Amino acid sequence: NAGVTQTPKFQVLKTGQSMTLQCAQDMNHEYMSWYRQDPGMGLRLIHYSVGAGITDQGEVPNGYNVSRSTTEDFPLRLLSAAPSQTSVYFCASSRNREHQPQHFGDGTRLSIL
């Protein structure tokens, strides 16, 4: 059972480049979410999804797009990378948001030069 898989684990981009962070889960979870965590800071919610075809913004959505075409996958797109987006990105999933805990991927460490 792989759980939540994030790729890549590390990435360096130049300002203005775009890229997609991949997230996949094999637990048939309905709820998926993306967080960023800056050094010494807490988790901040970027976008979340309560099921295939449904997405919503979190606390810090600007500069990021998401889509949820399948239950398994929830990619995060950086449209035009900026140094302020240098962070660790975590994807998480849960059977539902009301009663079940989230399970996290092991993160993508992203540096924007």
Partner 1 sequence: RKEVEQDPGPFNVPEGATVAFNCTYSNSASQSFFWYRQDCRKEPKLLMSVYSSGNEDGRFTAQLNRASQYISLLIRDSKLSDSATYLCVVTGNQFYFGTGTSLTVIP
Least distance to partner 1, CB of residue 96, Å:
9
How far is Cα 31 from Cα 68, in angstroms, rounded to an integer? Answer: 10
- CB-count exposure of residue 77 (10 Å: 0-12, 13-18, 19+): middle
Identify the sign of the CA torsion 6, 7, 10, 12. Answer: negative
CA nearest neighbour of 96 among 34, 36, 42, 51 = 51
Least distance to partner 1, CB of residue 64, Å:
16
Least distance to partner 1, CB of residue 8, Å:
15
Pick 17 or 58: Cβ nearer partner 1? 58
Pick 107 or 112: Cβ nearer partner 1? 107
Q: What is the binding site for partner 1 (CB under 8 A)?
A: 33, 35, 41-43, 45, 48, 58, 88, 90, 92, 94, 97-107
- The answer to whether 89 and 4 have CB atoms below 8 angstroms apart is no
Pick 80 or 97: Cβ nearer partner 1? 97
Pick 17 or 27: Cβ nearer partner 1? 27
Least distance to partner 1, CB of residue 27, Å:
13
* DSSP letter assigned to residue 18: -
